[in-house]
Amino acid sequence: MILKLCNKCGKPCAYPAKYCDVCLPDVLAAREAREAETKARADKAYNSRRDPKYVRFYRSKPWRMLSARYMQDHAWTCERCGGLAVEVHHMQPIQTPEGWERRFDVTNLKAVCVDCHNKEHNRFQSKAKRSQRL
Ligand SMILES: [Zn+2]
Ligand SMILES: [Zn+2]
Ligand SMILES: [Zn+2]
């Protein structure tokens, strides 16, 4: 039988196990806890984006009418780069109390192209900020 040393306590254990029988349950439990925590964090970010309150708002008739009119008023031109705008961005994110107050306030809006919208939200740069999209 080939013996290996336990990665945790250094005692010999049967190959191909990386840990001895004593350490293995500990190691597995720790790994499970870590995975559960990572998942909980991802769910939380996901849910804040998918919060029905905001989903409903973006689908609502008043918002769709306002954003369509805003786009028309700005001739579908990106206010950052002059390209073709496709989305209306809230400068003060509606996920914040102030942004929510100003969700229909045109001075809080900006017509943006996809690229500029990503830049506004720093998508692809910071995971923390990505959770505040739209
Ligand atoms: Zn061990
Ligand atoms: Zn742009
Ligand atoms: Zn936005």
Report pLDDT digits (tens) over 94-108.
999 999 999 999 999
Distance 133 CA to ligand 3 centre (A): 6
Highest mean pLDDT among 45-54, 69-78, 116-125: 69-78
Q: Looking at the CA of 86, which ligand is closest?
A: 2
Nearest C-alpha neighbor of 108 from the set 98, 123, 116, 117: 98
Nearest C-alpha neighbor of 51 from the set 88, 96, 108, 114: 96
Q: Lowest mean pLDDT: which of 41-45, 54-58, 89-93, 116-120?
A: 41-45
Q: Looking at the CA of 81, which ligand is closest?
A: 2
Model confidence pTM above 0.75: no
Report which of residues 71 and 126 the model is more confident about: 71
C-alpha 91 chain-centroid distance:
17
What are the residue ranges spanned by the domains of the chain?
23-130
Q: Looking at the CA of 58, which ligand is closest?
A: 3
